[in-house]
Amino acid sequence: MNHEVMVATCSGPPEDLAGRRALHAAVELADGLGWPLVHARLGSAAEPSAAVRLAQRARRAVASRDPGAVVLGTGPVAREVAGRLAAGWSCALVADCCRLVVRGGVARLSRGALGNRVTAEIEWDRTGPLLLTLAPGAFEDAPGAVEPAGAEVVDLADVVEDDEVAGIMARVRILRIENLPAKEIDVRDAEVVVSGGAGAGGVDGFALLTALAERVGGAVGASRAAVDLGWIGREHQVGNTGKHVAPKVYVAVGISGASQHLAGIRSAGAVLAVNKDRRAPIFETADLGVVAPMDDVVPPLLARLETIAGDRDRLDP
Ligand SMILES: Cc1cc2nc3c(=O)[nH]c(=O)nc-3n(C[C@H](O)[C@H](O)[C@H](O)COP(=O)(O)OP(=O)(O)OC[C@H]3O[C@@H](n4cnc5c(N)ncnc54)[C@H](O)[C@@H]3O)c2cc1C
């Protein structure tokens, strides 16, 4: 095992941002250990079945360099690459790492456990290699640097797949890609999260928000108040005692914007808020705010989206 840290990133939304955070985490680990950093660029995560190709490239990079630690980013592709890589490599895997501290050559890693209700502290003793993936929202204070100074860059984007991958791809035929029902998508993985709060008014309000999330291929989130009222399951709760999310768009409907809720959406891209109270604190965070009862906004928006989708289906059956 060589004393070097490898960070493997892929390009293409939504992995770009995760790649930046992975670089940040890898720099912290490499600096703390005093090890050099190698940046393996695996290629685009946007192509279908990308994880199979990217995992193969990651395996190649690991086989040729034998690094002491590999850092991957966050998101579904990074997770699948990690799983495939770990399966054939005798390493310690810490998935969804949210914090990393290196002192005296010892790395301490934290990750949420039991639905994020407790934090597991893991110590890596360096007797074998380590593989890390990051929790959504972790290392969000990552600076904008694209490439850490002094890192050796290995570009694997053009590596042609070998017989194994070609064999897998030849046996795989993608018939169609279907979105999971909104309620089954983990809010941490979604590019769009439609969240409801106490202002959603009940189970019927959440049915409307679920339909909206469904229409845009997103997930359904909730404030703790809505969860405590029993309108939706706790796995949907966003916030500091819920999940930390990092969608491109976060839609907050009937959510006041309490600090504990906002703690969960710090890594969100654009925040859209619908609230009937113009003084609701959520508007201080929102990029776009609509002051109105949700019934004035959500049903017409849904109807408009249905019309657009219908027009598209007619043009492109
Ligand atoms: C230790 C601790 C941890 C916590 N962790 C979390 C957490 O992880 N996540 C979390 O969310 N909260 C958490 N909370 C709770 C948090 O403090 C708030 O109580 C909670 O976020 C409020 O939820 P809400 O915004 O849905 O409800 P409310 O604060 O009651 O706000 C409801 C909003 O809906 C608006 N509204 C009402 N009717 C309508 C309508 N018809 N159309 C549009 N808008 C309407 C109102 O104007 C209001 O702004 C935590 C609290 C503590 C003490």
The residue-averaged pLDDT of 151-159 equals 82
For residue 96, the one-letter residue type is D
| Residue 261 CA to ligand 1 centre (angstroms) | 7
Higher pLDDT, 149 or 40: 40
- The strand pairing partners of 291, in sequence order, are 275
Amino acid at position 111, single letter:
R
Task: Give me the pLDDT at residue 48, please.
Answer: 62
pLDDT bin (cut points 50, 70, 90) of residue 119 is confident
Residue 142's pLDDT is 62
Residues with Cβ within 8 Å of 181's Cβ and at least 6 positions away in sequence, in order, are 214
Residue 92 neighbours by CB under 8 Å, 6+ apart:
124, 128, 129, 130, 131
Q: Which ligand 1 atom lies nearest to the CA of residue 225?
A: 23
The pLDDT assigned to 13 comes to: 57
Which of 63-67, 179-183, 196-200 is the least confident region? 179-183
At 317 the pLDDT is 58
Assess whether pLDDT exceeds 70 at residue 139.
yes
Looking at residue 147, what DSSP letter applies? S
* 140: number of Cβ within 10 Å: 15
pLDDT single digits (tens) 235-282: 999 999 999 888 889 999 999 999 999 999 988 889 999 999 999 999
Which amino acid makes up residue 280?
A
pLDDT in tens, 296-317: 999 999 999 988 877 776 666 5
CA 190/CA 281 separation, integer angstroms = 24
Please check whether the domain covering 2-171 is classified as CATH 3.20.20.10. Answer: no
CB of 294 shorter than 6 A to ligand 1: yes
Give yes or no for a contact between 252 and 297, defined as CB atoms under 8 angstroms apart: no
Band of pLDDT at residue 45, cut at 50, 70 and 90: confident
- How many Cβ atoms from other residues are within 10 Å of residue 157's Cβ? 13
Token output for 193: 């999260």
Q: Mean per-residue pLDDT for 231-238?
A: 96
Q: Is the pLDDT of residue 128 over 70?
A: yes
Q: pLDDT tens, 78-98?
A: 888 899 899 889 999 999 998
Q: Structure tokens of 139?
A: 């290392």
Count of other CB atoms within 10 angstroms of residue 85: 23
Show the tokens assigned to 77.
């592709």
Indicate the pairing of strand 106-113 with strand 118-124: antiparallel
Give the N- to C-terminal CA distance of the chain in Å, as an integer: 54
Q: Please list the residue range(s) of the chain that carry CATH number 3.40.50.620.
A: 2-171
Lowest mean pLDDT among 126-140, 191-205, 242-256: 126-140
What is the third-level CATH fold of 182-315? Rossmann fold (3.40.50)
C-alpha torsion angle, residues 285, 286, 291, 293 (rounded to 10): -100
Write down the pLDDT at residue 310. Answer: 77
pLDDT for the residue 97? 92
- Establish whether residue 237 lines the binding site of ligand 1, counting it when its CB lies within 6 angstroms of any ligand atom: yes
SS3 250: strand
Confidence of residue 52 (pLDDT cuts 50, 70, 90): confident
64 pLDDT exceeds 80? yes
| Cα separations in angstroms, 262 against 2, 95, 223, 290 | 42, 24, 10, 18
Q: How confident is the model at residue 114 (pLDDT cuts 50, 70, 90)?
A: confident
pLDDT at 104: 85
pLDDT value, residue 16: 62
Question: If you average pLDDT over residues 102-121, what whole number do you get?
Answer: 85
Whole-number mean pLDDT of the chain?
87
Residue 260 CB coordination number (10 Å):
13
Residue 162 is predicted with a pLDDT of 64
Best residue among 255, 285, 291, 294 to mutate for probing ligand 1, ranked by most atoms within 8 Å of CB: 255
Instruction: Write phi, then psi, for 218 (nearest 5 degrees).
Output: -110, -170
User: From ligand 1's centre to the CA of 179, what distance in Å?
Assistant: 29
Residue 274's nearest CA partner among 259, 296, 258 is 296
Name the more confident of 268 and 206.
206
Ligand 1 centroid, distance to 83 Cα (angstroms): 37
Look at 9-18, 94-103, 214-223 and tell me which has the smallest mean pLDDT.
9-18
Ligand 1 centre distance from Cα of residue 242 (Å)? 13
What's the CA gap between 132 and 77, in Å, rounded? 14
Token pair listed for 287: 């990029």
Residue intervals of the chain classified under CATH 3.40.50.1220 are: 182-315
Q: What is the whole-number distance in angstroms between the Cα of residue 115 and the centre of ligand 1?
A: 21
- Residue ranges of alpha helices (H) inside 38-161 are 50-65, 76-87
